[in-house]
Amino acid sequence: MGNVTKGKVHMNVENKKLSKESTFYFFTSIGNYTGESATSIEDFLEKIEHIDIKSIEFHCHRGDFQKWVAETIGDKELAEQIKKLQDQNFAGEKLRYQLHLIISKRCGTPRYKTPL
């Protein structure tokens, strides 16, 4: 899992549906589930385009995205890029945009609608 070639996640990992235990569940705080989850890295990209910004901030500041990408997706390099983003203390829509940009570039699918 998580094979990487020339800086891009292989399509089979990108589109592979994860088990229920490996799915990423979005919360806005502990115990406050948004009702959204991601079953693949591609699904994750789509969800972060519209998920409540509080959820992105919550998970980013806790290191949850970094951990999920490293341990579940198997892409340690992408996880390190997410950690660097976390260390920059972005917030709000700037955080959403930067997170989406990092992941979409890594997957070879940059498509965020409106840069900030």
For 59, the token pair is: 């998970």
Q: What pLDDT score does 110 carry?
A: 61
- Using the predicted structure, report yes or no on whether residue 104 has a pLDDT greater than 60: yes
Count of CB atoms situated within 10 Å of the CB of 48: 25
- Other C-beta atoms closer than 10 Å to the C-beta of 99 total 23
The tens digit of pLDDT for each residue in 10-19 reads: 333 445 666 7
Structure confidence at residue 21 as a pLDDT band (50, 70, 90): confident
Tokens of 21: 């235990």
Write down the pTM of the prediction: 0.79
Pairing of strands 32-38, 24-29: antiparallel
Domain ranges of the chain: 4-107
- 19 DSSP assignment: P
Q: Which two tokens stand for residue 35?
A: 């009702």
Cα dihedral sign for 67, 70, 76, 82?
negative
Q: How far is CA 109 from CA 61, 87, 116, in A?
A: 25, 24, 18
Q: pLDDT (tens digit, 9 = 90+) per residue, 50-83?
A: 999 999 999 999 999 999 999 999 999 999 999 9
Given this model, what pLDDT does residue 17 score? Answer: 66
Where residue 48 falls (left for φ over 0; alpha for ψ -120 to 50; beta otherwise) is alpha
